[in-house]
Amino acid sequence: MKDITTAFGTLYHPVKAFVIYEKDASDKSIYVESYDIDNNGYPINAHPLSEKESNQLANALDTSDELQRNFLKPSGLLPKNVVYINPDHNGYAIWYSPAQRLDLFFADSLGIPNGVASIPPLLWKACKKSLYLYALYDVTTINEQTDLFHAPFFNVYDEGKVCMGTVSINIKADCPLEEFIKQWEQYFFNSYFSHLIKEKSPVKGNIIQLWQKLVNSSKTFPLKSLIKNGLTLKQLLS
C-alpha cells in the first residue's frame, strides 16, 4: 500500500465575510461591516468591524505579502543555471539543465522500455501552475539570441508547453527558487510519457525508434535530430 495522505490539500472553511460601504459624498469615507459565517456557509451576525478583527485581517494580509516576497527567492547565491527570474506573485523562472543520463518512464502503449537514457541540454520556463520546455544545442553560450529547439519528448505542445496529464502540481506560495526548480524537474521526469500532441514528432525521424535506441544504451543523445521551433530565449522573457 502507498501512503498518499501527504498529497492531500488543506481544506479551508469560510469563517468571516466583510462588506465595505463607501459614503456617497466627496470625502468617500468608508465603513466596514463584518459577518460571521454559520455551519451552512451563510453570513450571520452583521456588526461593525472590530479592532480585534481588523488586527487579524492585517496579520493575514501581511503573511500573504511575506509569502509572496519569498516566492522564487534563492536561499544563497543565485544558482549558475538560472537564466532569468520574475519574482512577482504570478511570476516564473527560466533555467537550464545540462545533457545528462536520467531514468525515463514510458506508457506501455509506446513500446519503449523504461530505463536510463541520455537527454540533451534543456531550457525550462515554469510558473506555479505550468511548465514550458525546450531543447538546446549546448549551455556554454546562452544569451537572448540563443535558438530554441523542440523538446524531444512526448506530451509537449509545439509552443513548448508540457501536458502534465494527471500529475498533481503543488507549488507553495513561498517556494524558494532551488526547491521550485527541483520540484518541476521531478514532476516532469517522474511522470510517464504517453503520447504525441497532434501526432506531430518533435524530432527528425521517428521519435519512438529514437528512444528505443537510446534507453538502456550507452549512446549519447543525437543533437542532429533536434528541430528548431523558431523561438529565441529573448521571446520567453515576457
Encode pLDDT of 184-198 as tens digits: 999 999 999 999 998
Averaged pLDDT of the chain: 88
User: Which residue do the cell numbers 461591516 mark?
Assistant: 33
Alpha-carbon gap, residue 151 to 122, rounded angstroms: 7
Encode pLDDT of 39-79 as tens digits: 888 888 888 888 777 766 655 554 455 455 688 999 889 99
pLDDT at 12: 72
| Torsion sign, CA atoms 82, 103, 183, 210 | positive
Alpha-carbon gap, residue 237 to 111, rounded angstroms: 38
pLDDT at 58: 58
> What phi, psi does 237 have (nearest 5°)?
-85, 60
Q: Using 50, 70 and 90 to split pLDDT, how confident is the model at 138?
A: very high
Residue 24, all three cell numbers: 456617497
Single pTM value for the model? 0.73
Share of the chain above pLDDT 70, in %: 87
Average pLDDT over residues 141-152: 96
Alpha-carbon gap, residue 217 to 233, rounded angstroms: 32
Average pLDDT over residues 107-131: 97
Residues 157 and 197 sit within 8 Å (Cβ to Cβ):
yes
pLDDT at 68: 57
